[in-house]
Structure 1
Amino acid sequence: MALATTLALGAATPQLAYMKGPSLEKVNSQFDKKVLNQLDAQRIYDNIDTLAQEPRVAGTDAEDQAVEFIAEEFESYGYDVEIQPFTFFGYTPPSSLSLSVEGFEGELNPRSFTYSVNGDVTGELVDVGLGTVDDVAGLDLTGKIALIQRGSISFGQKVLNAAERGAAGVVIYNNVDGVLNGTLGAYDERYVAAVSLSKSEGEALKALAGSTATLTVEGAEAGDRTSHNVIATKEPTNQKKANDDIIVVGAHHDSVPGAPGANDDASGTAMTLELARVLKNVPTDTELRFVTFGAEELGLIGSYHYVDTLSDEEIDNTVANFNLDMVGSRDAGDLVMRTLDGQPNLVTELSQKSSLKLNGEATPFSQGGSSDHVPFAAAGIPAALFIHAPLEPWYHTPDDTIDKIDINKLQDVAEIVGSAVYDLAQFDHPSQSKNTGKVDVEADMIFEQSVR
């Protein structure tokens, strides 16, 4: 899941909505016989384990290996597979950071900012307050290292303001307790080497302003990268419908740097594989596409590329997107659904019917973005995110590992989504079932950057 509002994930349950269609008992009776008993949560778990051996950052060899594994799994189920490449501007974080200041006793623990550039700087440490234009006005920072407190303006603007006055390096310290993780927002050639410190570290250095400091940032790289979407398609086998509907089931296979991403989102990827396996040999009336997306963590790049390459006819025919993101954590809350506009749609309605039948209660939904359902909703396609909330404490950390995965949660989500997909793939819902208009997308619907 792209760096996101982990808030809103506990929003109140809205009034439940249901759609007219085939009887629930009929739907699930057929599903129980043909699909439910074939779903294998252990297989999902094992595929998560395979995928989550290391971080799968978009554009890296590790992501390429994941793409190869996913494609081979789809092919082993009998699918024709398309590997869809796309390019993006990528950034590799520094491999090494160091900061020392004369007179400071102990060891400093600098952290990198996303999009910081490399640098090896020794110079005077200068306290420039919040690093605003007014704070640096009239200062000659040539060859010096600017010490700046968090707040008021973005991290990137602080670095640019200092660099424009000649600073060769920047240290930004937190204004609240705890470490500071952040991004400069976007790559800019005008940046200088920048790191973050905790509040206590920064305040200690403020007392040492005027001392000589040495800042080193090494291993950062920026440039064009290639990632891939993996698409497995099942054509209709019954042809009873009088339309060319398409259902997309998907998840993202990339992870953030430093995190093996067992739950985020090897869990959704492995579940997509399992649903593809089970539904491959089940007669269905609708085209099914199982897609794993690359570069979700960098701003939903892969899913936007997939939707952007669809023809107008394909967009019109795509009646649903089931987006599986973080669906197996032992330490997360209950299953919820998120739609971009917070309104019910075909995906939420069918999934509520399935969960009501399977578990005795309808899965709640509310508004939320920050995952691969966003481009589909923006194109007017009914789409929903399936996720457990509140999120686990291991989100986007090195501790997002296989031992945190709950096999019972995997089974539960697979049954709910599988039932809803099978329902929609079997029955000819009314033409008005595609009931979502295009949704305008704000930046924070893609991800919320920690820029201040």
Structure 2
Amino acid sequence: MLKKTTLSILLAASLSVGATPAWAAPEANLPSDQAFDNKIVKRIKVDNIYNHIAKLSEKPRVAGTPGEDVAVEYIKSQFESYGYDTEVQPFEIYSYTTPSLIELEVDGITFEPAPLDFSYGVDGEVTAELVYAGKGAPSDFEGKDVQGKIALIERGDFSFAVKILNAANAGAAGVIIYNNATGVLNGTLGEPNDDYVPAVAITKDQGVALKERLDKGETIEATLKLEGAKTDRAISHNVVATKEATHKSTGEMILVGAHHDSVDGAPGANDDASGTATVLELARVFANAPTDTDIRFVTFGAEENGLLGSYEFVERMTEEDYERTVGMFQMDMVGSKGAGDLIMYTNDGEKNIVTDLGAAAGARLSKTGEATSYGMEGRSDHVPFAEIGLPAALFIHAPVEPWYHTPEDTLDKISKEKLKEVSNIVGAAVYQVARPDTPALENAKVAPKNVDYNFEEREL
């Protein structure tokens, strides 16, 4: 595992002496950092972001399908129209076709909303007794007879794939996983595996109702049936555009990303056409901005298949790329009317330079001076970067909207105000590093003492 030398930055830098570029004269009577912020935020056009979302969400963009190919070509053409040399990174994935039939029958329960499958799951029909198996750890099966039965498992602590494999290893013939939060559970197993047994996902309320009956000593028989699931090889893509430093280069680089794929059947206006569209608009704004730092704009494929695009990108990074990367800003689901407030999630729940920059930018730009909170969460493309030791954070509104991963994730649910909020904060935070006057990072300090931002245990 690579280890990243801790980087930091002076977030309240003074204006350096010298001429200001004519393209971006500072505003009068503003603190220095706000004046620099305005060089970026005043040029962000939220209508551009909205129009990109409209184009990208015309149909689903499932990884490895023609829908993704259309999106990749659109993103590439937009980057090139801003003057960027653009790289498309193809990589092999497993594509997945949702079952044509998903059924779960239990006496006394009507499953509404209906159960869902797990990507890369297997077909099968099982009629058997239901056995509660906690969160699906190996210890949860000890002393329990699950041979040929259906395991009822709560979401949490382990991946869906691990839960199902643990149940199969204990002899279960099927698995039902219920959510630990409100809403439907739409999950992936990451990749196919011949050792999986048929499995479906149900809501928290449905799962709790089943568990309560089992706790009372009731014997419950269930029938679980899936037909038509299919896994094939396919090609997905990342799209990469790099802005090189225009002034004396520090040799450093910032990554700004989002995933462009969506789940099957969902237009994905918010998830994640909103993040992709914001990446495109920031790329446009930064195209002619003076910088002493390289900025790499990336849209990832196959995030919904298990963060495959970002893992591929990390795998292709050179040692030089790694050593000079200041941090990674990931934007996922940044524009829904039905979602909660903005939060910055890190994989380990610890602050880093990306959250410091985001908090300081949010405080400067907010009317109240309140900084954006941070929390702990994986589940998006910041994870592979964090796992190799690079500072990374996910910018997202949480809790997510009720129509997450459904056909209702459409353009009419998009909030221009939320798009503007996130694009302003990320744009200002990135420019805090990239602008030519910023002191060298090794000689700088982290967020100023007057910018406090708090940890929130907020469910995504």
The TM-score, its normalising length taken from structure 2, stands at 0.73
Deviation string, structure 1 residues 95-127 (Cα, Å, up to 9, x no partner): 2335789x99999965434433234x6x9x443
Segment drifting more, 356-365 vs 307-316: 356-365
Query: What corresponds to 2:441 in structure 1?
Result: 431
Partner Cα separation in structure 1 for residue 176 and residue 352 of structure 2: 45
Q: Is the 8 A contact 2:386 2:392 kept in 1?
A: yes
Deviation string, structure 1 residues 5-27 (Cα, Å, up to 9, x no partner): xxxxxxxxxxxx97453358334
Q: Is the 8 A contact 2:345 2:374 kept in 1?
A: yes
Q: Is the 8 A contact 2:71 2:260 kept in 1?
A: yes
- CA distance change for structure 1 residues 223 and 383 in 2, over 3 Å: closer, same or farther? same
Partner Cα separation in structure 1 for residue 443 and residue 308 of structure 2: 28
Query: What corresponds to 1:127 in structure 2?
Result: 129
Shift of 1:133: 7.7
Shift of 1:393: 2.1
Shift of 1:71: 0.8
Segment drifting more, 34-43 vs 343-352: 343-352
Q: Is the 8 A contact 1:89 1:225 kept in 2?
A: yes
The answer to whether the aligner puts 1:338 opposite 2:348 as a matched pair is no
Q: Is the 8 A contact 1:345 1:435 kept in 2?
A: no
Q: How does 1:305-324 map to 2 (within 5 A)?
A: 305-324=312-331
- 2:74 maps to which of 69, 73, 85: 69
Q: Is the 8 A contact 1:353 1:362 kept in 2?
A: no
Query: What corresponds to 2:18 in structure 1?
Result: none
- 1:96 maps to which of 81, 91, 101: 101
- CA distance change for structure 1 residues 208 and 66 in 2, over 3 Å: closer, same or farther? same
Partner Cα separation in structure 1 for residue 183 and residue 40 of structure 2: 48
Shift of 1:70: 0.9
Q: Structure 1: which 5+ runs fail to align?
A: 1-16, 437-452
Partner Cα separation in structure 2 for residue 318 and residue 175 of structure 1: 37
The answer to whether the aligner puts 1:28 opposite 2:37 as a matched pair is no
Partner Cα separation in structure 2 for residue 222 and residue 77 of structure 1: 38
The answer to whether the aligner puts 1:44 opposite 2:49 as a matched pair is yes
- 1:59 maps to which of 60, 64, 87: 64
Q: Is the 8 A contact 1:172 1:195 kept in 2?
A: yes
Partner Cα separation in structure 1 for residue 183 and residue 339 of structure 2: 23
Query: What corresponds to 2:388 in structure 1?
Result: 379
* Percent of residue pairs bearing the same amino acid type: 45
Q: Is the 8 A contact 2:13 2:33 kept in 1?
A: no
CA-based RMSD of the aligned residues comes to 3.8
- 1:87 maps to which of 86, 92, 97: 92
Partner Cα separation in structure 2 for residue 296 and residue 183 of structure 1: 10
Partner Cα separation in structure 2 for residue 93 and residue 398 of structure 1: 14
Shift of 1:90: 4.4
- CA distance change for structure 1 residues 217 and 406 in 2, over 3 Å: closer, same or farther? same
The TM-score, its normalising length taken from structure 1, stands at 0.74
SS in 2 for 1:228: strand
The answer to whether the aligner puts 1:112 opposite 2:104 as a matched pair is no
Shift of 1:353: 3.0
SS in 2 for 1:331: coil
Q: Structure 2: which 5+ runs fail to align?
A: 1-8, 16-29, 134-140, 156-161, 447-460
Partner Cα separation in structure 2 for residue 147 and residue 49 of structure 1: 43
Number of aligned positions between the proteins? 398
The answer to whether the aligner puts 1:273 opposite 2:283 as a matched pair is no
